[in-house]
Chain A
Amino acid sequence: EVQLLESGGGLVQPGGSLRLSCVASGFTFSTYAMSWVRQVPGKGLEWVSSFRSYDGSTFYADSVKGRFTISRDNSKNTLFLQMNSLGAEDTAIYYCATERYCSGDSCHWDHYLDFWGQGTLVTVSS
């Protein structure tokens, strides 16, 4: 059974930093591109960032580019999101999700964000 468990959320002051973690189990973590998606409580979903496994490429939403850094430790089956210069607009529930299965030098095109964690709440407030 695929499981994704996020942690690291909490209350942080504007301008502060936070590091989110997502521990994966039930699948071969190293073969999956992984993503972070966020949701302001009561609002819609917003993709934040992705890490493509086979070539190490990273992608970011314009709203977080230059402030957030996605990384992973395949030896620990863990995905990270380092968040710096946080503002009130970053207050949200942050979900990690499996993006795509990748093998060799390419990723399967069809499946996308099949599995999600339960989310961790980040609140930016003074």
Chain B
Amino acid sequence: DIQMTQSPSSLSASVGDRVTITCRASQDISKYLAWFQQKPGKAPKSLIYAASSLQSGVPGKFSGSGSGTEFSLTISSLQPEDFATYYCLQYRSYPPTFGQGTRLEIE
């Protein structure tokens, strides 16, 4: 199985900050990488697919980059509604595997 190592596991930031979360795959997954946002008590929400494509309706403050084994999610100009947990997911091969998650908290 492909392992996804996500870092950091938690992150404190302030409103207006820009933050970056990274995911590393244990083998080449090309661009088969998605990012999700999850708020407490809610289902995950798709933000990015194919490593860098923005999901419809998602604001442009979210951006994804990378290919192969190294990927990142950047969130610019943090607003209170952005504080949540973020997950990466590889879907290059079954079983699809998630990163451990990054909890983004208000500093």
Contacts and interface: CB of A to CB of B under 8 A. Distances in A.
Nearest to A63: B95
A1 to B, nearest CB: 11
Interface string A109-126: 111111111110000000
A5 to B, nearest CB: 11
Interface residues of B, number: 24
Interface in A7-21: none
Interface of A is mostly: loop
A45 B6 CA distance: 13
Contacts of A59: 94-95
Interface of A: 35, 37, 44-47, 50, 59, 61-62, 95, 109-119
* The 5 A-B residue pairs with the shortest CB-CB distance in the complex, in nearest-first order: A110-B50, A116-B43, A45-B98, A112-B91, A47-B96
A119 B43 contact: yes
Contacts of A110: 49-50, 53
A112 B34 contact: yes
B44 A44 contact: no
A44 B100 contact: yes
B45 A116 contact: yes
Contacts of A47: 95-98
A40 B94 CA distance: 21
Contacts of B95: 47, 59, 61-62
B43 A117 contact: yes
Contacts of B38: 45
Contacts of B101: 44-45
